[in-house]
Structure 1
Amino acid sequence: MALPADLAARSALSRICTRCSISLRREGLISNGSSLAFQLQRRKLGSRTKQVRHDQQHIPSLAARHFSSSVVRAGFRPSNSLQNESKRVLAPDDLFHSFTNSPIPEIRRRAALMRQHAPCPHPDHRPGGPMAPAHVDFECPDCGIPVYCSKEHWADDYEAHLEICDTLRQINEDDHDLRSGRFFPEFEYAGPQLEEAMVNMSNWDTFLYTREFNAINADRSMRQVTRLLTYPITIGSVLHELSPYNIKAGGRLTAEGLKSFSALRYTLHPPKRGVGTDIKSLRVSPPPVRVFVLGARAESSLPRDAWIQLAHLFPRAKIHLILIGPEAMVNRDNEFPLPPRTPQNPFGAIVEDRVWHTMKISTIVDYYHTIHKTGYFYPYDPYFDCFVLFHPGLGHPASSHEWEETLPMLLETKVPILATGYTQTDMERDVEWVRKTTGGEFDMLLEPGENIFRSLRWDLYDMDPQDISAGNWGLWAFRGKRYEATHKSSE
């Protein structure tokens, strides 16, 4: 039985705000005394890890985006813990609580996880310093999050902490708001778009207004809703004919990018052709545009109402969203067991063909390069195909090796590749890795920069409270280099 959009979105978003506490809980690192190293090694051997959010090497395989919502084809069911916690109602003026003394059990568990693994950032604990490394234990009274090993170190390094203290407090209150038990009208998404109505993609405010979403008058509500919508709207903002990215000064779109995205936009915005019921007015329909989301994890568990917003942006085009990755079904227990691999379904894909009348979603639990070698999706067409990499960690030491085999395959298709990053540093590291790995044999389609439709909500990395990031903060696009044919005179 499908739940209201409010409860479905709250279930998904409740897992987004913590990337590692859920991972450790699933691995059993908190409930039992098993060795952390043993658990990490077992995870490394059994599944593909994603990007580590910081450069420290203490827990490299837990860096990933861990969204965990229970998604079923017909609807969405929140976890039992969320159902129990939603019974507790926090007033709008009672959202600030220290993590350790939070009325929400899940947040108290996060505090315990931080105390167990997060390092104290004080300079005395750095390599070569006078003190050995230590874990955080003292909670800042202003942000309510464990940030230093002691009150003395917090006071001594207070000026450095002030740079992120307000943001940490905002994260604290947003987490409690999500579990406050209130009704979330911001999760009631807009319906189909009238073809005569134009969408303004200048920013989140103009987009939500022109798409006729319910008015969102609170900053906190805006942060909550953009945390989910950033995934489909980021894709739509690049592919739409009214994209804010253009070839004008500051528009970031390159000449090669204009060529590639114009091809896709031609398919996504087909002309009106006067289709009728008689023989003379029959028209051939083009195939659906395929959007391949590689390394999918969080994206696969988004409420389908959020993904349908991508279909609403292109009402006269068909879209096939293909989620590929060995962890694409993580925490989607209601859909197990996976379909058997048969000659008709060689990779055991889960197909949701009733999401919307112009949209179909397929989920494949496998590596993309394994599928590519079989030619399963061949041929690729720049007019109908697009790859998307959400926070891939291409250049991070802990995950770059996982893309070394995949990247050449993506480039040889000559299909646009959209990529996002958590931070500017994260994005620039990915760009540099692609440049070095390919020897410059790629065309930049969209210059790296801040994503107009990034998540407005900040996230906290439990393994390092100093590391805060925003979903899809950075955005860039590239593709395999294309060489124009030239004619040389024989004279």
Structure 2
Amino acid sequence: MASRAEHAVRSTLSQVCTRCSISSARRAPLGRLPTRTSAVQSRALTSAGRPRQAAARSNAVSVQKRWSSDAASVSFESPATKTEEPRPRVLRDDDLFHSFTNSPIPEIRRRAAFMRQHAHCPHPDHRPTRISESASGAPASTTGNLPAAHVDFECPDCGIPVYCSKEHWMADYENHLQICDTLKQINEDDHDLRSGRLFPEFDFAGPQLEEAMINMTNWDTFLYTRNFEAINNDRSMRQATRLLTYPVTIGSVLHELSPYSVHPGGRLTTEGLKSLSALRYTLHPPRSGGGMDVKGLRLEAPPVRLFILGARAESSLPRSAWLQLAHLFPHSRIHLIFIGPESMTNRDDEFPLPPRTPSNPFGAVVEDRVWPTMKISTIVDYYHTVHKTGHFAPYDPYFDAFVLFHPGLGHPASSHEWRDTIPLLLETKAPVIVTGYTQFDMERDIEWVGKTAAGEFDVLLEPGENAFRSLRWDLNDMDPQDVSAGNWGVWAFRGKRYEATRKEEE
């Protein structure tokens, strides 16, 4: 009966206007999502960290990013309307630790084989082969005489191939001990995701009362004030935040109750207050006195456009996750625009792409009924190509913002792809929100932007740890020593604005 009621509500919402559908949604909110994880959620968790540009895959193995190698095509049918056969329980909660090589999950065994073929032993006796993504940028050793060797020995404590032999593991055990517990946690989280258990943490909250105040201090206060079901397990918390970190990171910067402020330690600069105040004015409109009848009709502002550039995994997130933005800003319309050559990754069921026509010049995939106040478009192309055509012009700092999730601006394999894009972003004078995997990754991006656009940008949000980073750790299959977290750090900038003054004539 619940699924029929939900279907009836959705059918009704698709036939009424925006104003009526919003009112209907608040009176009869949609049903909860299935408690079993869908294919989209599973792939989003396992493939959320892959090289962000197609060209990066063609570069040398040593410069590939920290992404899982087991992504497959997924069905992009909405989790709320998809009926799945119950999956058998594969692993119990007390049986999640298994070595990668002997794992009961075929995907993890394939991942172990990939690591044995590409990851190298970190023992200092070996000659260095690459620069670590999470270290200070210098090789671990420059005095090693032994040739590089692939990992082959699995640590019995974390179950992940980390050294070429047991002897090297024992000799370097003190260094490995620094990340061993984290690697074990990654191991158990990966097995938990494929264990076949119920996933109540993916039962995301829907609309809430207008009088309810949201506290964005941290994950705990946010989930509590947003009326999420209580998550009392650390592992479940890590799985949930892995999906929610993308929309909530955007919301935490743009919301009027943002944890980032101009107060000491708040990291928001004076220029940042100017830019974000403009967006917050649009996202939190004053009461207009509008109603449901003809007399209550009022003019509405255009939708706020959020351009998510270099999109990959975030474009395939369950739409129930992105709806959190619509619930954070219930009185404004939002248009999410995913742009990037890999923005349709993990969405194979939607291929072939729409043809490029005069009315749809870039063959955009448009999802117009995600929510009464939210629309999502996906364009498989580089942003600088779209920008030069004027397709989205004009840009307005009151209605537009750019978001770059782990863009790799300073990464040797992908920085050249951003060289034409950054100057165009600065011309728009709209805020650009950027995240990074680690402090090293974030600082490398900042340094690259500082060299590429020296003197032409203002920092809006000082770089630092993201209050809503993913609590789940990710492992770089190319380098088991490289551990990171999704959206670990966040900062923001925009093109410098010059105030013009008029000299009075004598």
Settle same-fold status: TM greater than 0.5.
Answer: yes
- 1:14-163 matches, within 5 Å, as 14=43, 16-17=45-46, 47-49=54-56, 58-61=61-64, 70-72=74-76, 74-75=78-79, 86-127=87-128, 128-163=143-178
Partner AA of 1:169 in structure 2 = K
- Counterpart for residue 299 of structure 1: 314
- Measured in 2, the distance between the counterparts of 1:428 and 1:106 equals 34
Compared with structure 1, are the counterparts of its residues 68 and 328 closer, same or farther at alpha carbon in structure 2 (3 Å cutoff)? farther
Is 2:27 the partner of 1:12? no
- Counterpart for residue 262 of structure 1: 277
- Counterpart for residue 368 of structure 1: 383
Q: Indicate conservation of the 8 Å contact 2:309/2:339, yes or no.
A: yes
- Measured in 2, the distance between the counterparts of 1:463 and 1:291 equals 32
Moved over 6 A (4+): none
**Matching residue within 365, 378, 386 for 1:350:** 365
Tell me the SS of whatever aligns to 2:459. Answer: strand
Q: Deviations over 1:311-365 (max 9, x none)?
A: 1000011000000011111121110111000000000001001110110100111
- Counterpart for residue 464 of structure 2: 449
Is 2:289 the partner of 1:282? no
Shift of 1:89: 2.4
Q: Indicate conservation of the 8 Å contact 2:311/2:339, yes or no.
A: yes
Compared with structure 1, are the counterparts of its residues 282 and 165 closer, same or farther at alpha carbon in structure 2 (3 Å cutoff)? same
Tell me the SS of whatever aligns to 1:467. Answer: strand
Compared with structure 1, are the counterparts of its residues 319 and 454 closer, same or farther at alpha carbon in structure 2 (3 Å cutoff)? same
- Measured in 2, the distance between the counterparts of 1:376 and 1:437 equals 25
- Counterpart for residue 391 of structure 1: 406
- Measured in 2, the distance between the counterparts of 1:62 and 1:252 equals 28
**Matching residue within 453, 460, 475 for 1:460:** 475
Compared with structure 1, are the counterparts of its residues 260 and 9 closer, same or farther at alpha carbon in structure 2 (3 Å cutoff)? farther
Tell me the SS of whatever aligns to 1:469. Answer: strand
Is 2:496 the partner of 1:485? no
Shift of 1:166: 0.3
Shift of 1:91: 1.3
Shift of 1:49: 3.1
Partner AA of 2:158 in structure 1 = C
- Counterpart for residue 228 of structure 2: 213
Partner AA of 2:76 in structure 1 = V
- Counterpart for residue 31 of structure 1: none
Is 2:332 the partner of 1:320? no
- Counterpart for residue 455 of structure 2: 440
Tell me the SS of whatever aligns to 1:449. Answer: strand
TM-score by length of 1: 0.88
Shift of 1:488: 5.0
**Matching residue within 325, 344, 347 for 1:332:** 347
- Measured in 2, the distance between the counterparts of 1:206 and 1:68 equals 35
Tell me the SS of whatever aligns to 1:465. Answer: strand
Partner AA of 2:102 in structure 1 = N
- Measured in 2, the distance between the counterparts of 1:19 and 1:239 equals 23
Compared with structure 1, are the counterparts of its residues 470 and 241 closer, same or farther at alpha carbon in structure 2 (3 Å cutoff)? same
Partner AA of 2:317 in structure 1 = L
TM-score by length of 2: 0.86
Q: Indicate conservation of the 8 Å contact 1:13/1:227, yes or no.
A: no
- Counterpart for residue 26 of structure 1: none
Shift of 1:60: 3.0
- Measured in 1, the distance between the counterparts of 2:91 and 2:175 equals 31
Q: Indicate conservation of the 8 Å contact 1:12/1:69, yes or no.
A: no
Q: Indicate conservation of the 8 Å contact 1:19/1:461, yes or no.
A: no
Q: Deviations over 1:79-100 (max 9, x none)?
A: x9xx99x534211111111111
**Matching residue within 192, 210, 214 for 1:199:** 214
Compared with structure 1, are the counterparts of its residues 162 and 74 closer, same or farther at alpha carbon in structure 2 (3 Å cutoff)? closer
Q: Deviations over 1:83-129 (max 9, x none)?
A: 99x53421111111111111111111111111111000000112452
Shift of 1:62: 5.8
- Measured in 2, the distance between the counterparts of 1:61 and 1:168 equals 20
Shift of 1:485: 1.9
Compared with structure 1, are the counterparts of its residues 410 and 65 closer, same or farther at alpha carbon in structure 2 (3 Å cutoff)? farther
Shift of 1:61: 5.0
Tell me the SS of whatever aligns to 1:439. Answer: coil
Tell me the SS of whatever aligns to 1:177. Answer: helix
Shift of 1:59: 3.9
Q: Indicate conservation of the 8 Å contact 1:317/1:358, yes or no.
A: yes
Partner AA of 1:89 in structure 2 = V
Compared with structure 1, are the counterparts of its residues 209 and 430 closer, same or farther at alpha carbon in structure 2 (3 Å cutoff)? same
Q: Indicate conservation of the 8 Å contact 1:8/1:77, yes or no.
A: no
Q: CA RMSD in A?
A: 2.6
Partner AA of 1:96 in structure 2 = F
Q: Indicate conservation of the 8 Å contact 2:43/2:74, yes or no.
A: no
Compared with structure 1, are the counterparts of its residues 357 and 247 closer, same or farther at alpha carbon in structure 2 (3 Å cutoff)? same
Q: Indicate conservation of the 8 Å contact 1:72/1:334, yes or no.
A: yes
Partner AA of 1:16 in structure 2 = L
Q: Indicate conservation of the 8 Å contact 1:324/1:366, yes or no.
A: yes
Partner AA of 1:479 in structure 2 = R
Compared with structure 1, are the counterparts of its residues 241 and 148 closer, same or farther at alpha carbon in structure 2 (3 Å cutoff)? same
Q: Deviations over 1:206-257 (max 9, x none)?
A: 0000000000001000000000000000000001110000000000000110
Tell me the SS of whatever aligns to 2:125. Answer: helix
- Counterpart for residue 203 of structure 2: 188
- Measured in 1, the distance between the counterparts of 2:80 and 2:480 equals 31
- Measured in 1, the distance between the counterparts of 2:246 and 2:121 equals 33
Shift of 1:282: 2.6
Gaps of 5+ in 2: 8-31, 129-142
- Measured in 1, the distance between the counterparts of 2:224 and 2:186 equals 26
Q: Indicate conservation of the 8 Å contact 1:14/1:179, yes or no.
A: no
- Measured in 1, the distance between the counterparts of 2:72 and 2:288 equals 43
Compared with structure 1, are the counterparts of its residues 62 and 461 closer, same or farther at alpha carbon in structure 2 (3 Å cutoff)? closer
- Measured in 1, the distance between the counterparts of 2:183 and 2:58 equals 22
- Measured in 1, the distance between the counterparts of 2:57 and 2:158 equals 29
- Counterpart for residue 32 of structure 1: none
- Measured in 1, the distance between the counterparts of 2:403 and 2:315 equals 13
Compared with structure 1, are the counterparts of its residues 13 and 278 closer, same or farther at alpha carbon in structure 2 (3 Å cutoff)? closer
Is 2:397 the partner of 1:382? yes
Q: Indicate conservation of the 8 Å contact 2:44/2:243, yes or no.
A: no
Tell me the SS of whatever aligns to 2:455. Answer: coil
